[in-house]
Amino acid sequence: MSGLLPWQIDTWAGLMARARGERLPHALLLTGAEGVGKLDFATRLAEGLLCQQPRDDGSACGQCHACGLLAAGSHPDFRLVGPPEDKKVIPIDTIRAVGEFFALTSQYNGRQVIIVHPAEAMNLPAASSLLKTLEEPTPGALLILVCSCPSQLLPTIRSRCQQVAFGLPECAQAVAWLREQLLADVDAEALLALAEGAPLAALRLNEEGGLAARQTLVRQWAGLLEGREDPLAVAAQWKPWGLVHSLQWLNSWVTDLIRLKSAGPDAAISNKDLGAQLQNIAERLDLKALYAFLDQLTEYGRLTANNLNEQLALEDLMIAWRRSALRR
């Protein structure tokens, strides 16, 4: 099948069976973790539905006039809607345009498709405006909301969409797929663990030099305990990864350290590729200090939704981490 991710084939077949029976709902809400391929799926679905000669499995032919227009970004019956460039929020004007678009007549095969991504980026006026569109569905129109955080959507929007949930793929399947995308010397398993099982996020991390950067970060992090590194300088190294990402990594490392402390050097850990470094760190700390640091990470995790100064938060965490070593 063209371009469909291997762990999405069953979901695809289910939706296509409904499309053939004209039983597709007018609004779908695709949910699941960041990096499992929801937007890819939404795009393949739009292509398949708008194609003039779809294949037997419902995927787009890639050859017809409609497919050509889609590839060129100029199909009149398709829109991909998101926050304006350099903005994080989808404003009401953008969503009003969705309603206006559905009011037009389909120019090709009777279908119109709009993808809203990420749907949780809509502000309240935008979400209210979308609600109106959802309440008055246009025949042949399909609205696909792509969302990693459905709890941030209005409940009234959630209830008017049919939810399609994307879980994390099986580890073996994800690793096999990643290996096909990566150069042979990249550790696909480590990358996937780092991305918490989300294959597309793993791929992105690789493009951003995630594995190599992580080796440096863990070395500096250990250096803090030994008094070799300066917490403010180390915090500056973390900044490009953002606070949310940094907290995920630190959480995963500290959890592994607790496992090593509790079950010994043979403990099953997530960050296998950092095993030696983590074992060295574990020897410098006691469990109490590790749990105290974990609490701090959790606390910052709760605060990330607020307008937190990321640099200060990272500095605070690195200073606290250095103190952990002295606490023994």
Binding region for Zn ion (CB under 5 A) out of 62-70, 223-231, 269-277, 296-304: 62-70
Name the strand (E) or helix (H) holding 114: strand 112-116
Q: Minimal distance in Å, beta carbon 137 to Zn ion?
A: 25
Q: Which is nearer to Zn ion, 61 or 213 (CB)?
A: 61
Q: Which is nearer to Zn ion, 2 or 162 (CB)?
A: 2
Q: Minimal distance in Å, beta carbon 52 to Zn ion?
A: 5
Q: Which is nearer to Zn ion, 29 or 66 (CB)?
A: 66
Residue tagged 């973390």 (tokens):
238
Q: Minimal distance in Å, beta carbon 102 to Zn ion?
A: 22
**Binds Zn ion by CB under 5 A, chosen from 24, 27, 36, 67:** 67
Q: How far is CA 42 from CA 11, 73, 223, 270, in A?
A: 11, 15, 45, 31
Task: Measure the CA–CA gap between 40 and 177, rounded to whole angstroms.
Answer: 15
**Residues 21-60 as x/- pattern, contact with Zn ion by CB under 5 A:** ------------------------------x--------x
Is 61 one of the binding residues for Zn ion (CB under 5 A)?
A: yes
Q: How far is CA 23 from CA 15, 38, 134, 320, in A?
A: 9, 21, 17, 56
Q: Give the number of other CB atoms < 10 A from CB of residue 222.
A: 18
Q: Minimal distance in Å, beta carbon 55 to Zn ion?
A: 9
Binding region for Zn ion (CB under 5 A) out of 64-72, 105-113, 141-149, 232-240: 64-72
Task: Measure the CA–CA gap between 124 and 96, rounded to whole angstroms.
Answer: 13
**DSSP label at 84?**
P
**Binds Zn ion by CB under 5 A, chosen from 64, 154, 182, 236:** 64
Number of residues that bind Zn ion (CB under 5 A): 5
Asked if 200 and 40 touch (Cβ cutoff 8 Å), the reply is yes
Q: Which is nearer to Zn ion, 108 or 131 (CB)?
A: 108
Q: Minimal distance in Å, beta carbon 30 to Zn ion?
A: 22
Q: Which is nearer to Zn ion, 107 or 262 (CB)?
A: 107
Residue tagged 């953008």 (tokens):
94
Q: Minimal distance in Å, beta carbon 113 to Zn ion?
A: 14
Q: Which is nearer to Zn ion, 80 or 168 (CB)?
A: 80
Q: Minimal distance in Å, beta carbon 53 to Zn ion?
A: 5
- Estimate to the nearest angstrom the gap between the alpha carbon of 255 and the chain centroid: 22
Q: Minimal distance in Å, beta carbon 91 to Zn ion?
A: 33
Q: Which is nearer to Zn ion, 47 or 256 (CB)?
A: 47
Nearest to 39 by CA among 11, 80, 84: 80
**DSSP label at 180?**
H
Q: Which residues in 170-209 contact Zn ion (CB under 5 A)? A: none
Task: Measure the CA–CA gap between 16 and 46, rounded to whole angstroms.
Answer: 11
Q: Which is nearer to Zn ion, 60 or 313 (CB)?
A: 60
Q: Give the number of other CB atoms < 10 A from CB of residue 112.
A: 27
Task: Measure the CA–CA gap between 311 and 304, rounded to whole angstroms.
Answer: 12
Asked if 222 and 324 touch (Cβ cutoff 8 Å), the reply is no
In the complex, which residues of this chain contact Zn ion (CB under 5 A)?
A: 51, 60-61, 64, 67
